[in-house]
Structure 1
């Protein structure tokens, strides 16, 4: 397994519990939008604690970017990342991931599951290929939405915001279940991209197949 030690160029909070890291990009280090790598912190007690995080920058960037949800309820890697700032070092490993763009379709994300889609949408927008794609994005509250303004700018009316624990004007206040999919999707023969907690992905892909989606048209981390 290859290891690349990189310097943190920028680190700042973009929501109350999500931190954006911009790091050096190693020579020849390539990825497809939607893919991820395992990251560790270059400190003796943390360097062997690897966690998977998705790239959120576009392919052509001369840096790498991650948007990482922090969990402060236990002494884990993300809590330590919350204390990690510019000039610290991270260790990147090999690139992996099944999520990549296969063609226009519906993207369904929950919480930090939006991160692989951010890179995809940025890349599509840059190359004027975003038309025909739609995002359904579910969070608990409006404070949890990651990069909401940018997603709105990129997708315009094809951005559907869903909140499960807050009734806010402009947001659909309900969960994404089978009935929601029936009401909000006309064509189940198109591509579907799903990312979020394991149970969310399992439930959504099951509903989609019950409603006529082809398994080969479903893109998710298997």
Structure 2
């Protein structure tokens, strides 16, 4: 089913990432971590559907998305960057992606943080962040989406990684030693979302340190 949204507001979070706040259709429901296909209600763009994760509270009276725009490409995210309040979007029903399977280690790369925003925010609201750790990799410190938010969450252990910036006060890569320290010996899930090459590399490192593949929850694994 197709639902029409009206863009209410945008908030710039990083040089290429914005938070889009939209109207919410009556009765529309989703779970933290779920996504939908979104397109612009505009000639030439209605059929250009792309998957985006909801980053709002499911109980809120608005829908929101946090989207990184690739403005050097002639695509949907570049077009979204120019969207203004009053513009209309089209979305389908919500579908599964990563869901909360309990406290664990959340490993994200770039825009792969988006499924973890509502999941960890929901845990923060319910006071159940203990046992959760976030490892978040970006090219530069300026690319870290919602850094003040992550740093403000009591109970969440946060480790930022910056790969392409000299003298950044963070580790410069995720390696097996870092993962081994973060994951430990507990049988908690490891949530993983980022570019496919990163997901593949991290999954290989995790299995290499003895993590059961059943514990590795990747976007799209259902």
> Does the pair score TM above 0.5?
yes
Aligned residue number for residue 110 of structure 1: 109
Unaligned runs of 5+ in 2: none
1:157/1:93 Cα in 2 relative to 1: closer, same or farther (>3 Å)?
Answer: closer
Aligned residue number for residue 174 of structure 2: 176
Aligned residue number for residue 202 of structure 1: 200
Deviates more, 1:154-163 or 1:16-25: 154-163
Aligned residue number for residue 81 of structure 1: 80
TM-score of the aligned structures, taking structure 1 as reference length: 0.94
Q: What secondary structure, in the 3-state scheme, does the structure 2 residue paired with 1:12 have?
A: strand
Unaligned runs of 5+ in 1: none
Q: Could you tell me whether the CA contact under 8 Å between 1:190 and 1:213 is conserved in 2?
A: no
Q: Using the alignment, how far apart are the partners of 2:154 and 2:193 within structure 1?
A: 18
Q: Could you tell me whether the CA contact under 8 Å between 1:55 and 1:116 is conserved in 2?
A: yes
Q: Could you tell me whether the CA contact under 8 Å between 2:35 and 2:94 is conserved in 1?
A: yes
1:142/1:156 Cα in 2 relative to 1: closer, same or farther (>3 Å)?
Answer: farther
Q: Using the alignment, how far apart are the partners of 1:111 and 1:179 within structure 2?
A: 21
Size of the aligned set, in residue pairs, is 220
Q: What secondary structure, in the 3-state scheme, does the structure 1 residue paired with 2:15 have?
A: coil
Q: Could you tell me whether the CA contact under 8 Å between 2:190 and 2:216 is conserved in 1?
A: yes
TM-score of the aligned structures, taking structure 2 as reference length: 0.94
Aligned residue number for residue 56 of structure 2: 57
Q: Using the alignment, how far apart are the partners of 2:128 and 2:151 within structure 1?
A: 16
Q: Could you tell me whether the CA contact under 8 Å between 1:47 and 1:91 is conserved in 2?
A: yes
Q: Deviations over 1:3-52 (max 9, x none)?
A: 00110011131110001100011111111111110100000210110001
Q: What secondary structure, in the 3-state scheme, does the structure 1 residue paired with 2:60 have?
A: coil
Aligned residue number for residue 191 of structure 2: 193
Moved over 3 A (4+): 167-170
RMSD across aligned positions (CA)? 1.5
1:167/1:189 Cα in 2 relative to 1: closer, same or farther (>3 Å)?
Answer: farther
Aligned residue number for residue 33 of structure 1: 32
Q: What secondary structure, in the 3-state scheme, does the structure 2 residue paired with 1:102 have?
A: coil
Q: Using the alignment, how far apart are the partners of 1:161 and 1:3 within structure 2?
A: 38
Q: What secondary structure, in the 3-state scheme, does the structure 1 residue paired with 2:92 have?
A: strand
Q: Could you tell me whether the CA contact under 8 Å between 2:131 and 2:156 is conserved in 1?
A: no
Q: Deviations over 1:67-103 (max 9, x none)?
A: 1000111211111101101110000112113300001
Cα distance, 1:213 vs structure 2: 1.6
Q: Could you tell me whether the CA contact under 8 Å between 2:129 and 2:155 is conserved in 1?
A: no
Q: Using the alignment, how far apart are the partners of 1:187 and 1:63 within structure 2?
A: 40
Q: Using the alignment, how far apart are the partners of 1:167 and 1:133 within structure 2?
A: 29
